[in-house]
């Protein structure tokens, strides 16, 4: 592979949306930030200069970083924050990924303004597993907060145990679009030529929302997800959860005109709330040529409504790996570690920054609400420093309760806080069943994301996972390979991977409110015994751990 160098200068800049101007932290003065473009197997050095006011880190979402957790990014997991005025060079090692991925800040809620796309092109000799597209369009879906400093608001909410803020709108390439005040001058436009086929590369960088997306009068052919190819599926809409990336072919088959591309929230939480804000974030697909465009672009009639749960489930169920000789799959079949992990909302009692005991909203995995240590887990592990974490992430036997019942016993809501990690031997074949729960009648989808790996989704369903019958239905032939999976509301999902990447890897829900509340854990994969199967040497210039970032996660 080749080597590329990027400079990321993080500093505050002014942006005006929804009729008000605020200053926010961005990379190289742009929102969304710059695109990193590589070919499969390349290495990228990104020199991050922090000219902002708070500590920050950057994560390369979906890049497996073989044996190189030092550059993975999540604060207090693999590094401490880069201090204001300091810089840090990430070494981003691409291996088997191909397609669209992304990068984002992994400290506080800074990722709302600090994110961008990563494009991984196939090798010249292999090319795409579909006809070479005529062009490309990158669409990043995001969240906009009118508040001057979203981190400030989140910090206060976490301090007193209240709910975190909702965004004021979603954005397409940084713009809310025509349906919002003071927005139609700057609505994002994508110009296409009749007869051409484009590769649409999409990132859901929204903070807390799964989103539906559609383009009026144009079908989408999904060909890739999370940096792996999938069997092409033709669809009128997609559902994309936070953290996910999707590659689609779009053929400009209308001779002329202007069409809305629109996204709206798919809300598994409150499907029965009728006064929900259904405002649509829009951009315009516009045909080049000599014609008088219609005053009003056409809106996508096939965009599901926010409460349409079945469309989301149906769409996700259609995604399968390519699984052919050029793109074979390697699903583990001799499972050595089975885990059953529940995801739940809790009320937790915690001591806040001022030393007061409070109780408030929390969330957890297997009833452990994650707490960041003061020095990153990776350094503690690598240097054998004790006292910063414990290796006792709990195991739950499957079907201990009816987890999706309306009246769950109180005992299941009794969450403790901890920095409890799961340790795996090198090359273990792992199956994890994530189980959604209805603790406090608060059931919703959780986009579970794993760092350092992609994994196969071998099964999913509603209700409680049944250890007897459900594994018999697993798809081991062409399961999709992803880094983020939406654990369905009151349902379960089973995943498999081989623990072939030694390191310290974060797992978490990619809804930032749940991440902040502790729906996280860490997996340590041990070295394999040879230099080629062990974590690399750390760079000598890791950021020191004496500077706190803005929000102290509980």
Residue 459 near residue 496, CB atoms below 8 Å? no
The nearest distance, CB 485 to ligand C2O, in angstroms, is: 13
CB of 291 or CB of 462, closer to Cu ion: 462
HSE (CB half, 13 Å, CA atoms) of 178?
14
The nearest distance, CB 447 to ligand C2O, in angstroms, is: 9
Residue 509 found at the interface with Cu ion (CB under 5 A): yes
Provide the token pair at 305.
């409504």
The nearest distance, CB 510 to ligand C2O, in angstroms, is: 6
Q: How far apart are the first and last CA of the chain?
A: 41
Could you give the CA distance from residue 358 to residue 380 in angstroms, rounded to a whole number?
29
**Partner touching 64 among ligand C2O, Cu ion, none, CB below 5 to 8 Å by kind:** none
Residue 514 found at the interface with Cu ion (CB under 5 A): yes
Residue 226 near residue 101, CB atoms below 8 Å? yes
Provide the token pair at 316.
């996700």
CB of 106 or CB of 422, closer to ligand C2O: 106
The nearest distance, CB 476 to ligand C2O, in angstroms, is: 27
Question: Of the listed pieces 207-215, 271-279, 440-448, 475-483, which binds Cu ion according to CB under 5 A?
Answer: 440-448
Residue 493 near residue 433, CB atoms below 8 Å? yes
Could you give the CA distance from residue 503 to residue 523 in angstroms, rounded to a whole number?
8
Could you give the CA distance from residue 463 to residue 97 in angstroms, rounded to a whole number?
33
**Partner touching 511 among Cu ion, ligand C2O, none, CB below 5 to 8 Å by kind:** Cu ion
Query: How many other C-beta atoms can be found within 10 angstroms of the C-beta atom of residue 521?
Result: 23
**Partner touching 446 among Cu ion, ligand C2O, none, CB below 5 to 8 Å by kind:** Cu ion
CB of 260 or CB of 517, closer to ligand C2O: 517
The nearest distance, CB 130 to Cu ion, in angstroms, is: 33
**Partner touching 188 among Cu ion, ligand C2O, none, CB below 5 to 8 Å by kind:** none
Q: Which residues bind ligand C2O (CB under 6 A)?
A: 59, 61, 74, 104, 106, 243, 449, 451, 506, 508, 510
CB of 69 or CB of 133, closer to ligand C2O: 69
Residue 241 found at the interface with Cu ion (CB under 5 A): no
The nearest distance, CB 299 to ligand C2O, in angstroms, is: 31
- Name the residue among 164, 145, 187, 147 with its Cα closest to residue 280: 187
Residue ranges of E strands in 305-393: 337-351, 357-365, 368-370
Residue 511 found at the interface with Cu ion (CB under 5 A): yes
Query: How many other C-beta atoms can be found within 10 angstroms of the C-beta atom of residue 390?
Result: 11
The nearest distance, CB 62 to ligand C2O, in angstroms, is: 8
């Amino acid at each position: 592979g080749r080597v590329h160098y990027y400079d990321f200068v993080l500093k505050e800049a002014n942006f005006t949306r929804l009729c008000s101007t605020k200053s926010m932290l961005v990379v190289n003065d742009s929102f969304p930030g710059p695109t990193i473009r590589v070919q499969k197997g390349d290495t990228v050095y990104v020199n991050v200069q922090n000219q902002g006011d708070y500590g920050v880190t950057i994560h390369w979402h979906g890049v497996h970083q073989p044996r190189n957790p030092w550059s993975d990014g999540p604060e207090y997991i693999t590094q401490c924050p880069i201090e204001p005025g300091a810089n840090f060079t990430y070494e981003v090692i691409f291996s088997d990924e191909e397609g669209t991925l992304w990068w984002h800040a992994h400290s506080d809620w800074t990722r709302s303004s600090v994110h961008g796309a990563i494009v991984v092109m196939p090798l010249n000799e292999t090319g795409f597993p579909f006809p070479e597209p005529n062009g490309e369009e990158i669409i990043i879906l995001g969240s906009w907060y009118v508040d001057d400093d979203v981190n400030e608001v989140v910090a206060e909410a976490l301090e007193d145990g209240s709910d975190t803020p909702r965004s004021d709108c979603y954005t397409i390439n940084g713009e809310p679009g025509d349906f919002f005040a003071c927005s139609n001058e700057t609505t994002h436009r994508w110009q296409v030529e009749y007869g051409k086929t484009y590769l649409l590369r999409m990132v859901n960088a929204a903070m807390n929302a799964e989103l539906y997306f559609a383009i009026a009068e144009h079908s989408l052919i999904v060909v890739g997800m999370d940096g792996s190819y999938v069997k092409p599926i033709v669809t009128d809409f997609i559902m994309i959860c936070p953290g996910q990336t999707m590659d689609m072919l779009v053929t400009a088959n209308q001779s002329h005109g202007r069409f809305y591309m629109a996204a709206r929230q798919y809300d598994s939480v409150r499907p029965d709330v009728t006064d929900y804000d259904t405002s649509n974030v829009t951009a315009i697909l516009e045909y080049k040529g000599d014609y008088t465009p219609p005053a009003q672009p056409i809106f996508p009639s096939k965009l599901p409504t926010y409460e349409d749960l079945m469309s989301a489930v149906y769409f996700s169920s259609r995604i399968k790996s390519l699984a052919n000789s050029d793109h074979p799959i390697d699903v583990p079949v001799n499972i050595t570690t089975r885990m059953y992990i529940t995801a739940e909302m809790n009320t937790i009692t915690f001591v806040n920054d001022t030393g007061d005991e409070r109780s408030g909203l929390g969330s957890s995995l297997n009833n452990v609400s994650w707490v960041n240590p003061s020095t990153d887990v990776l350094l503690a592990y690598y240097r054998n420093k004790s006292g910063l974490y414990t290796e006792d992430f709990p195991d739950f036997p499957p079907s201990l309760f009816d987890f999706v019942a309306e009246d769950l016993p109180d005992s299941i809501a009794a969450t403790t806080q901890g920095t409890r990690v799961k340790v795996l031997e090198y090359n273990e074949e792992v199956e994890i069943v994530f189980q959604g729960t209805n603790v406090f009648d608060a059931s919703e989808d959780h986009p579970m994301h794993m760092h350092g790996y992609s994994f196969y989704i071998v099964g999913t369903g509603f209700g409680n996972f049944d250890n007897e019958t459900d594994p018999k239905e697993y798809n081991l032939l062409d399961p999709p390979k992803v880094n983020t999976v939406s654990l369905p509301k009151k349902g379960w999902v089973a995943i498999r991977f081989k623990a072939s990447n030694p390191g310290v890897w974060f797992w978490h829900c990619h809804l930032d409110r749940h991440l902040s509340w502790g729906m996280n854990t860490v997996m340590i994969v041990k070295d394999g015994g040879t230099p080629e199967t062990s974590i690399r040497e750390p760079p000598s210039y890791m950021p020191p751990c004496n500077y706190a970032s803005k929000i102290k996660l509980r």
